[in-house]
Chain A
Amino acid sequence: MQTNFSLTALADAHVSESEKILRACVHCGFCTATCPTYLLLGDEADSPRGRIYLIKDMLEEEKPATPQVVEHIDRCLTCLSCMTTCPSGVHYMHLVDHARAHIARTYTRPLPDRLLRGMLAKVLPFPGRLRLALRVATVSRPIRKWFANLPGGTQLAAMIELSSSFKRRRPTRRLPGATVDRPRGRVALLSGCAQQVLGQNINEAAIRLLTRHGIEVVQPIDEGCCGALVQHLGYESRALDAARHNVDVWTREIENGGLDAIVVTTSGCGTVIKDYGFLLRNDNAYAQKAARISALARDITEFLHELPLQDGVRTTGQVVAYHSACSMQHGQQVRDQPKSLLRRMGFVVREVPEGHICCGSAGTYNVLQPEIANRLRARKVTNIEKVKPQIIASGNLGCITQIGAGTGIPVVHTVELVDWAMGGPLPDVLGRRLG
Chain B
Amino acid sequence: MSKIRFTEPNREILARRDSIINDLTRLVDPAGLITSADECRAYETDALTAYRKMPLAVVLPKTTEEVSAVLKYCHDTGVKVVPRGAGTSLAGGAIPSEDAVVLGLSKMNRVLAVNYDDRFIRVEAGVTNLSVTAVVAENGFFYGPDPSSQLACTIGGNIANNSGGAHCLKYGVTTNNLLGVRMVLIDGSIIDLGGDYLDSAGLDLLGLVVGSEGQLGIVTEATLRILKSAEGARPVLFGFPSCEGAGKAVADVIAAGIIPVAIEYMDKAAIEICEAFAKAGYPLDVEALLIVEVEGSDAEMDATLADITAIARANGATTVRESRSAIETAAIWKGRKSAFGATGRVADYLCMDGTVPTGKLSYVLAEISKIVQRHGLRVANVFHAGDGNIHPLILYNANDPSQQSKAEAAGDDILRLCVEVGGCLTGEHGVGIEKRDLMGCQFDDADLAQQIRVRAAFDPRWLLNTDKVFPLDFRCQG
Contacts and interface: CB of A to CB of B under 8 A. Distances in A.
Contacts of A29: 46-47, 86-88, 149, 152-153
Contacts of A53: 41-42
B47 A26 contact: yes
Interface stretch (A66-74, A102-110, A122-130): A66-74
Contacts of A340: none
A87 B126 contact: no
A24 B151 contact: no
B338 A44 contact: no
A32 interface: yes
Nearest to B85: A29
B58 to A, nearest CB: 8
Interface string A65-96: 01011001000000000000111111000000
A44 B43 contact: yes
B201 to A, nearest CB: 35
Interface in B403-427: none
A66 B341 contact: no
Contact of A24 (B45, B47, B345): B345
Interface in B266-309: 277
Contacts of A30: 149, 151-152, 338, 341
B109 A42 contact: yes
24 contacts: A1-B49, A1-B348, A3-B399, A24-B344, A26-B47, A26-B343, A28-B47, A29-B46, A29-B47, A29-B87, A29-B149, A30-B341, A31-B152, A33-B128, A41-B31, A43-B42, A44-B104, A45-B38, A47-B42, A54-B38, A54-B41, A88-B341, A89-B345, A90-B344
Interface of A: 1-3, 23-34, 38, 41-45, 47, 49-50, 53-54, 57, 66, 68-69, 72, 85-90
Contacts, number: 116
A387 to B, nearest CB: 12
A87 B43 contact: no
B344 A28 contact: yes
Interface of B: 31, 34, 36, 38-39, 41-43, 45-47, 49-50, 60, 86-88, 104, 106-107, 109, 126, 128, 130, 149, 151-153, 277, 338-345, 348-349, 398-399
A68 B106 CA distance: 20
A87 B50 contact: no
Nearest to B48: A27
Given A2-B398, A44-B87, 6 more contacts: A2-B348, A26-B348, A28-B341, A44-B43, A88-B341, A89-B345
B39 A45 contact: yes
A88 B344 contact: yes
A29 B106 CA distance: 13
Contacts of B49: 1-2, 26-27
Contacts of A43: 34, 39, 42, 60, 106-107
Contacts of A49: 42
A68 B38 CA distance: 7
A175 B428 CA distance: 62
Nearest to B52: A2
B338 A87 contact: yes
Given A44-B106, A54-B42, A85 B151 contact: yes
Closest 8 CB pairs of A and B: A87-B341, A88-B344, A87-B338, A26-B344, A42-B107, A50-B42, A2-B398, A42-B106
A42 B60 contact: yes
Contacts of A89: 277, 344-345
Contacts of B153: 29
B130 A33 contact: yes
A1 B49 CA distance: 7
B87 to A, nearest CB: 6
A86 B41 contact: no
B38 A66 contact: yes
Nearest to A38: B106
